Chains A and B, each alone.
Chain A
């Protein structure tokens, strides 16, 4: 399975080399436009989700729920699949892996925090490795594999907060703001009429894979990369050169996976905006969705009324400012 995945990756790279860059970027813009036909007033959210798609990263949406899919009685096997008894043509009974709903290119895990930790943890392997192991057998998930989860920030009763290890698997955590008046008006107008707007299919899975490979090929200057390293280290409360403020108010800092997400997302952001290199502004644009769930205040920080996102922005600005000098 893994070798198949590697071969698939190599195939994607070859495909990228043969494709026209302009065509890829044009497809990306068409995808944005198509989504905009059915999603109103959430351009940033759409962009962030698209970035997650381009980076083969999973996205956790946090906002008002649209529908409930995960429930407390949902079992891991309900998600990943299970071994079932089957009888072959000769009448011999055997077991066969029955893939669960996670075996899809796009998985919508709605209200993921309502599922039990056991079920939530069933997603860990799938999200990180792109595989599911059942009865000692590893089953590769299709490519592209993309989990779009939602989390309800209200009605916390009966929910199970995602553990840090699992929340770190999410490439982005995107906050969905409540729609403004004009946006809400558009939503009501478009969704209560006789005709429902439908987004046309613009990207095929192959196109997405091409985009993902293209994103990874965007170069980043050495000093920009080092600035990310210094920034990630600056968020560690146990770090040697950490500021007193971070030592005092931060529970845990940005993980290495957070640094990866930041650079990869910045590459996708640059590509989405027609640039072919990563700049500081790209890093700044993806800073919060990539890191807000990987950086937590401790009790003292919360009691002081501090904001983790504000601290993240301050730290980033100070590091990039010193790097520019």
Chain B
């Protein structure tokens, strides 16, 4: 007697000839098991694909953390896109492989035998059915075997056959995701950079709104901004530069320093600012710390009190500074993007400072040119070789150009047709010089300051190198590694010494920082070259 409830002929389902007719409960159990195996395979494939994607993302994040200036590394969104693509491709491959080669019923039967401890019961039945095992369908032993298989199949559930659970390496997934999130530098650095830019924007507006008649005010405002950045960054180097700019403003205000000299000195100091800013950005990105100059944005009430070396009246001379900063912070909708706004603000800041210095120079030049013209002694004015002396050709040219570009000065004596200053204003050298020096150089410099990632890798690698022309004894501490080695040749003994660019590396910043820290402790030493 045949067991009851058999499916007629499994045929193509098992790849069998259907010789004996597998009992229906056995077939149902095995088919359900096959479906669960498919689901399990999908879960495993998905997990592995997710693991691979998370690993790729974490590695990319770690690489960007370790090599923040490597332009070839993918950024956050690119790494995410790569990981997502990997995940999708992995899942697709898994599904394709399963659909292309699904497990045969005999394999499911063997798996069921192992799982349920049946010692090849189902596998023997399936093999008999597909002719892989010899046995007469009407044999009493085969009939007894089928009855036994049917009885066991009725008592079994397919769930334990292929329990759907995450594969063992799945525990790595949250670890990799957490690592990728924690190692990603961009989300942490962006707010700090935005704060810094907003602070600079607000401070520059304050300068623009400051008293336009005082040339030293712009310089002092720049010093205030710089000292705030130095304080927030705890950067002794920047602090020393800010102090030097404060000192410059004081000397300019007291007349101790001529405008043309002040302009040159300011340019030198701004060069230091460039290096210090780049170094600060680099240090921030290297450390991964979100703290930056903008982490504590300058508030209206305390712009410079805590800055070492800052003049006591600096805050008092910037009454609009706080208001402008507040206005800048409370009306973000009226501002352009942070990058562009900060760049424009800094450009305006420096241009305003230079404009005021130039205006002082013009005033001085015009006041000096008047008596000279009255005396008819033009030769004495042109033969002077002191670049800072009022009335020199350079200064007259500057004044002329300023008058041309500034209609407010059109009524001044220097713009009078036929005057000597007006003739000198047509010298093309000055135009070229100004255009190159003020526009291109500062525009590029400021763009790089605002967005250091625009700098080429070689320039970033050379940050801090040779921009501090100071006389220091050679570094004596043992510096073994290639990156922080400081050689004797790295130090400029005089201003004429060539600028080293190759073998100092980032350690130079630390040395310079210690040097300026010592200057703060010994203020009688001038940090400027």
Contact = CB atoms under 8 A, between A and B. Distances in A.
Contact of A21 (B123, B134, B140): B140
Nearest to B131: A222
Interface residues of A, number: 25
Interface in B350-398: none
Contacts of A220: 124, 133
Nearest to B132: A222
B138 to A, nearest CB: 7
A277 B114 contact: no
Nearest to A18: B140
Given A219-B127, A222-B132, A276 B119 contact: no
Interface stretch (B77-85, B141-149, B201-209): B141-149
Contact of B138 (A17, A219, A324): A17
B379 to A, nearest CB: 105
Contacts of A225: 133
Interface string B141-159: 1111100100000000000
A221 B121 CA distance: 8
A2 B154 CA distance: 47
A280 B119 contact: yes
Contact of A221 (B123, B139, B140, B143): B123
Of A218, A223, A276, A277, the most chain B CB neighbours within 10 A belong to: A277
A267 to B, nearest CB: 9
B135 interface: yes
A221 B120 contact: yes
A219 B123 contact: no
A110 B110 CA distance: 45
A133 B99 CA distance: 63
B140 A16 contact: yes
Contacts of A140: none
Of A218, A220, A221, A222, the most chain B CB neighbours within 10 A belong to: A221
Interface string A214-230: 10011111111100000
A158 B268 CA distance: 116
Interface string A265-277: 0000001000111
Interface in A247-291: 271, 275-282
Contact of B124 (A21, A219, A281, A324): A219
Given A218-B141, A324-B114, A277 B136 contact: no
A17 B140 contact: yes
B510 to A, nearest CB: 60
Contacts of A219: 124, 127-128, 133-135, 141-142, 145
Contact of B144 (A21, A278, A280): A21
Contacts of A19: 140
Contacts of B139: 16-17, 217
Nearest to A222: B132
A218 B120 CA distance: 13
A241 B198 CA distance: 75
A109 B211 CA distance: 130
A83 B133 CA distance: 47
Contacts of B145: 219, 276-277
B127 A222 contact: yes
Contacts of A275: 119, 148
Given A221-B127, A276-B148, A324-B114, A214 B120 contact: no
Nearest to A280: B119
A17 B124 CA distance: 21
Interface residues of B, number: 26
B120 A224 contact: yes
Contacts of B136: 217
Contacts of A214: 140-141
Of B119, B120, B128, the most chain A CB neighbours within 10 A belong to: B120
Interface in A1-47: 16-17, 19-21
Contacts of A279: 118-121
Nearest to A281: B119
Contacts of A324: 110, 114
Nearest to A324: B114
Nearest to B149: A277
A217 B138 contact: no
Given A276-B144, A277-B124, A281-B119, A221 B133 contact: yes
A223 B109 CA distance: 12
A278 B121 CA distance: 8
Nearest to B136: A217
A278 B135 CA distance: 12
Contacts of A278: 120, 124
A223 B123 contact: yes
Contacts of B123: 221, 223-224
Interface in B91-144: 106, 110, 114, 118-121, 123-125, 127-128, 132-136, 138-144
Nearest to A214: B141
A20 B141 CA distance: 10
B135 A217 contact: yes
Contact of B120 (A16, A20, A217, A277): A277
Contacts of B119: 275, 279-282
Nearest to B145: A276
A154 B143 CA distance: 48
B120 A280 contact: yes
A104 to B, nearest CB: 29
A240 B250 CA distance: 96
A275 B147 CA distance: 11
A217 B133 CA distance: 11
A281 B127 CA distance: 18
A16 B144 CA distance: 14
A17 B138 CA distance: 8
B132 to A, nearest CB: 4
B104 to A, nearest CB: 12
Of A217, A225, A276, A278, the most chain B CB neighbours within 10 A belong to: A276
Contacts of A20: 140
A214 B134 CA distance: 13
Interface string A198-224: 000000000000000010011111111
A279 B133 CA distance: 13
Nearest to B109: A221
B411 to A, nearest CB: 99
A230 to B, nearest CB: 16
Given A280-B119, A324-B114, A221 B124 contact: yes
A20 B1 CA distance: 12
Contacts of A16: 139-140
A275 B148 CA distance: 9
B14 to A, nearest CB: 13
Nearest to B140: A21
A272 to B, nearest CB: 13
A48 to B, nearest CB: 20
Given A221-B124, A278-B124, 15 more contacts: A16-B139, A20-B140, A217-B139, A219-B128, A219-B141, A220-B124, A221-B120, A221-B123, A221-B133, A223-B127, A279-B120, A279-B121, A280-B120, A282-B119, A324-B110
18 contacts: A21-B143, A217-B139, A217-B142, A219-B127, A219-B133, A219-B145, A221-B124, A223-B120, A225-B133, A271-B141, A275-B119, A276-B141, A276-B145, A277-B121, A277-B125, A277-B145, A279-B118, A280-B120
Interface of A: 16-17, 19-21, 214, 217-225, 271, 275-282, 324
Q: Which 6 A-B pairs rank lowest in CB-CB distance, beginning with the nearest? A: A279-B119, A219-B135, A222-B132, A277-B124, A276-B145, A21-B140
